[in-house]
């Protein structure tokens, strides 16, 4: 397998609004990130993906960009950003920019021009359609609720927005749009960034017939089949690769919700000249019901395990996996896949990390995950800030699809705001995130769960992550070893091996809150334990694992 720095890396995702506020206005900022670079260096991560920091009215916390070449004022200045790049590079930490080019903000100049008149030079930068029978051009619903079309009285036409109405979709059919995007990407590459995480990149090519979609929950039709992995998607990415990506030593990861194995091999196939890897979401979508993510259903372990195994086996030797359990759009991983009851929180957070970091692919750590931060479980709508949560609460309760009580339960478990509460740095007021009033409430458990406390404690989740990350740097097999699942049918245990030339690694994780019996394969008799979360010393033969226990064994043949 070809060796690459981005395969050997561990990526840490920063959600800048909630990471560290340096000036007391309650909003995280670039200088805050600079202050914490030593913390990140200590953790050992070597790539940062920072969610969007460009000029934006913040309808969707920066995923609505109004100027691609300016830093959002509340986050700082271009000089601050350059200093961040420089300080990160000094510490051998690379930086990925979040590239949001499926849509812009409606306050971007292109859109301000575009909506002025039908013959404006920027008109075709966006997707405009005439009304059909006095109504929307088709039945598509937007990802944040409501129709995906917004009527604009100025020219009496509709524009498409797959997300909020303040996020009009760019028209990638227009060659000028594509050139603008490539020029902008080169601008940032020349500045010295090290790659891109590409926001909903799988949605940039739309079926130009714009047909109605199948009704999903009785309100709107599904745009998925017509705008996700659309007809020209691979052509566009190959063009982008040819024009920009291939000219720099950078890393790229595409956000591709709904991606199948076959599609992923096209996006990230080693010989395809598109992207280095993609995020697939099957494992975090397992357990979704009739109302999509809005459910109180717990995930299904067997289904989750089978999905993970499938992606490991099917991409092996063909494309590279991105490994993650959480990000800024997902609930906290320990609350969702582990157990955030104080009895099990630490153990289960370490177990989940073990499972992910020992698989084949590039691991991603979402800010606070290395501390075992939990869901916020806000039970009042007024505590929520996320446009998706607020819109759906209104849509589902007003249409009678769900009672307010039930929908609130869904938000408590599934809202994106669970992951967006401020980083818990210490046990001082506002968790050391800000001296002022934070833009979103701090999780109440910050006195118990915070970085300062964990830096002191050699057995903390933080130090466990630090160890996992350093193991990756010591042992090639963790990056490149061949994956093979064990005990596939087990209802509690996720186990697998990795195979190198003369060496082999075994990972065993108990995903349940019950004891679990496991037979350690004979070949690992006397093997070295690389890491374990409950201090076990004996690993031979039949053993009884404690709830959420995990361990990794390793041996190498003498030659
Ligand atoms: O998310 C894209 C995406 O697929 C979302 O619809 C996701 O499924 C949803 O947030 C899950 O609840 C990206 C960004 O990561 C997200 O933060 C943005 O809001 C969105 O694109 C629009 O830019
Ligand atoms: Ca600030």
Quick check: is 180 in a domain? no
Quick check: is 520 in a domain? yes
CA of 329 to the centre of ligand 1 (A): 6
Write out the catalytic residue numbers. Answer: 199, 255
* Residue located nearest, by CA, to atom 23 of ligand 1: 63
DSSP 31: H
Query: Are the C-beta atoms of 92 and 46 separated by less than 8 Å?
Result: yes
* Residue located nearest, by CA, to atom 10 of ligand 1: 329
Nearest-5° angle of CA 23, CA 28, CA 31?
Answer: 60
Cut 0.95: pTM above it: yes
Domain count, the chain: 2
Q: Is the pLDDT score of 558 beyond 90?
A: no
Q: Is the pLDDT score of 559 beyond 90?
A: no
**Phi, psi dihedral angles at 13 (to 5 degrees):** -95, 130
* Residue located nearest, by CA, to atom 2 of ligand 1: 200
Measured from CB, residues less than 6 Å from any atom of ligand 1 are 60, 63, 100, 143, 163, 199-200, 255, 257, 293, 328-329, 388, 416
Q: Mean of the per-residue pLDDT values for the chain?
A: 97
CA of 193 to the centre of ligand 1 (A): 23
Q: How far is residue 223 from each of residues 91, 173, 219, 482, measured CA to CA in Å?
A: 44, 18, 13, 37
- Report which bound ligand comes closest to the CA of 72: 2
Atom of ligand 1 at shortest range from CA of 328: 17
Quick check: is 220 in a domain? no
Domain containing residue 113:
109-160
CA of 27 to the centre of ligand 2 (A): 4
Share of residues in the chain with pLDDT > 90 (%): 97
Residue 291 contacts by C-beta under 8 Å, 6 or more apart in sequence?
A: 217, 396, 401, 402, 410
Quick check: is 113 in a domain? yes
- Report which bound ligand comes closest to the CA of 435: 2
- The CATH number covering residue 522 comes to 2.60.40.1180
Atom of ligand 1 at shortest range from CA of 64: 23
Q: Which of 51, 58, 62, 63 to mutate to test the pocket of ligand 1 (most atoms within 8 A of CB)?
A: 63
Quick check: is 524 in a domain? yes
- Report which bound ligand comes closest to the CA of 324: 1
For range 220-245, the mean pLDDT: 98
Atom of ligand 1 at shortest range from CA of 63: 23
What is this model's ipTM? 0.96
Q: Is the pLDDT score of 528 beyond 90?
A: yes
Quick check: is 362 in a domain? no
CA of 243 to the centre of ligand 2 (A): 36
The per-residue pLDDT for range 43-74, each reduced to its tens digit, is: 999 999 999 999 999 999 999 999 999 999 99
Tokens of 312: 């490991």
Tokens of 41: 């260096």
* DSSP assignment of 462-512: HHHHHHHHHHHHH-HHHHHPEEEEESTT-SSEEEEEEE-SSEEEEEEEE-S
pLDDT band at 384 (very low <50, low <70, confident <90, very high): very high
CA of 361 to the centre of ligand 1 (A): 22
Q: Is 110 helix (H, G, I), strand (E, B) or coil?
A: helix
- The CATH number covering residue 117 comes to 3.90.400.10
Alpha-carbon gap, residue 479 to 537, rounded angstroms:
25
Q: Choose among 4, 315, 55, 64: nearest CA to 199.
A: 64
For range 373-402, the mean pLDDT: 96
Quick check: is 138 in a domain? yes
Quick check: is 522 in a domain? yes
pLDDT band at 206 (very low <50, low <70, confident <90, very high): very high
The per-residue pLDDT for range 110-121, each reduced to its tens digit, is: 999 999 999 999
Listed residues: CB within 5 A of ion ligand 2? 21, 23, 25, 27, 29
Alpha-carbon gap, residue 498 to 5, rounded angstroms:
20
């Amino acid at each position: 397998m070809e060796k690459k720095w981005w395969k050997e890396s561990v990526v840490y995702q920063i959600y800048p609004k909630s990471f560290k506020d340096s000036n007391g206005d309650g909003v995280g900022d670039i200088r805050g990130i600079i202050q914490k670079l030593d913390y990140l260096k200590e953790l050992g991560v070597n790539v940062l993906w920072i969610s969007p920091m460009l000029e934006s009215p913040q309808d969707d916390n920066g995923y609505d960009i109004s100027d691609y070449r300016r830093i959002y004022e509340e986050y700082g200045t271009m000089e601050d950003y350059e200093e961040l790049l420089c300080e990160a590079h000094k510490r051998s930490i690379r930086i990925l920019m979040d590239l949001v080019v499926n849509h812009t903000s409606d306050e971007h100049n292109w859109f301000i021009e575009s909506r002025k008149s039908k013959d404006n030079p920027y008109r075709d930068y966006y997707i405009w359609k005439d009304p059909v029978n006095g109504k929307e051009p088709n039945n598509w619903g937007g990802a944040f609720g409501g129709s995906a079309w917004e009527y604009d009285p100025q020219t009496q036409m509709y524009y498409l927005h797959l997300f909020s109405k303040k996020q009009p979709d760019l028209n990638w059919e227009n060659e000028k749009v594509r050139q603008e995007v490539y020029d902008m990407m080169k601008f940032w590459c020349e500045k010295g960034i090290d790659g891109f995480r590409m926001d909903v990149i799988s949605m940039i090519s739309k079926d130009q017939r714009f047909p109605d979609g199948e009704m999903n929950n009785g309100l709107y039709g599904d745009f998925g089949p017509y705008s996700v992995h659309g007809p020209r998607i691979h052509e566009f990415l190959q063009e982008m690769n040819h024009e920009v990506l291939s000219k720099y030593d950078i890393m790229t990861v595409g956000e591709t919700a709904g991606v199948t194995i076959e599609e992923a091999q096209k996006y990230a196939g080693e010989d395809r000249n598109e992207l280095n890897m993609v995020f697939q979401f099957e494992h975090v979508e397992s357990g979704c019901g009739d109302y999509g993510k809005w459910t109180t259903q717990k995930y299904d372990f067997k289904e989750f395990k089978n999905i993970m195994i499938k992606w490991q086996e099917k991409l092996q030797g063909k494309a590279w996996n991105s490994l993650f359990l959480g990000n800024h759009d997902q609930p906290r991983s320990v609350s969702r896949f582990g157990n955030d009851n104080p009895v099990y929180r630490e153990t289960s957070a370490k177990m989940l990390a073990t499972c992910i970091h020992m698989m084949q692919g590039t691991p991603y750590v979402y800010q606070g995950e290395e501390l075992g931060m939990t869901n916020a479980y806000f039970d009042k709508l007024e505590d929520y800030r996320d446009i998706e949560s607020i819109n759906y609460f209104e849509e589902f309760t007003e249409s009678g699809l769900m009672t307010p009580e039930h929908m609130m339960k869904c938000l408590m478990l599934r809202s994106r705001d669970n992951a967006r509460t401020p980083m818990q740095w210490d046990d001082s007021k506002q968790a050391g995130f800000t001296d002022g009033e934070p833009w979103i409430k701090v999780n109440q458990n910050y006195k118990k769960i915070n970085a300062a406390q964990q830096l002191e404690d050699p057995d903390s989740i933080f130090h466990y992550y630090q160890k996992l990350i350093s193991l990756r740097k010591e042992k090639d097999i963790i990056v490149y070893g061949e994956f093979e699942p064990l005990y596939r049918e087990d209802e509690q245990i996720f186990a697998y091996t990795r195979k190198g030339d003369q060496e082999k690694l075994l990972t065993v994780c108990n995903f349940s809150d019950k004891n679990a019996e496991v037979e350690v394969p004979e070949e690992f008799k006397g093997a070295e334990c690389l890491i374990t979360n409950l201090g076990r010393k004996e690993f031979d033969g039949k053993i009884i694992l404690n709830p959420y226990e995990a361990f990794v064994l390793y041996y190498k043949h003498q030659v």
